Amino acid sequence: MSKIEKVLVTGKTHTTHNSAGYTSRGHNGSLDITLSSPGSARPEHEFTAVQPHPKAEQLFAGAWSACYIAAVGLAAQQMKVTLPTDTAVDIEVDLGQTGPAYFLQARLTLRVPGLDHGVATELAHNADQICPYSKATRGNIDVAINVLTA
């Protein structure tokens, strides 16, 4: 797997879960998407405050983070762990170059304030095994998983 030598653009999102579903917001206000769980009565997605032309990397990060935070919930159920109400996922997706070739890379940060760091790390890696976006990117792009418990 090639490493990016020069980052050209980064798409960043912050995703949370609440009773209405999953909300992904871009760091610069260019993306605000509410996604619902499969089978819910809500629409599958709702673009509530999208500025013109969010970056493709930001859209990818938003979709991935919504999927990943749902996988965190599933992993927590399997591990019998109660998630803090302010659980969140931040994903940054970079588009970059190495020589003339273009690549993607990503950083996932799971934020679970107050949870034991070892449990949170296991949770993050279990969610990575569940999430279809993580599976699709595994071995194809460089991905770093970070866990914050404070």
What is the pTM assigned to this prediction?
Answer: 0.79
Q: What is the mean pLDDT of residues 83-87?
A: 92
- What are the tens digits of pLDDT across the range 104-115? 999 999 999 999
pLDDT of residue 124: 98
- What are the tens digits of pLDDT across the range 14-30? 877 765 556 666 655 55
pLDDT reading at 59 higher than 80: yes
144: which 2 tokens? 């770093």
Q: What residues have CB less than 8 Å from 103, skipping those under 6 apart?
A: 2, 3, 4, 95, 96, 97, 141, 142
pLDDT reading at 72 higher than 60: yes
In degrees, to the nearest 5, what angle opens at C-alpha 5 toward C-alphas 141 and 13?
55
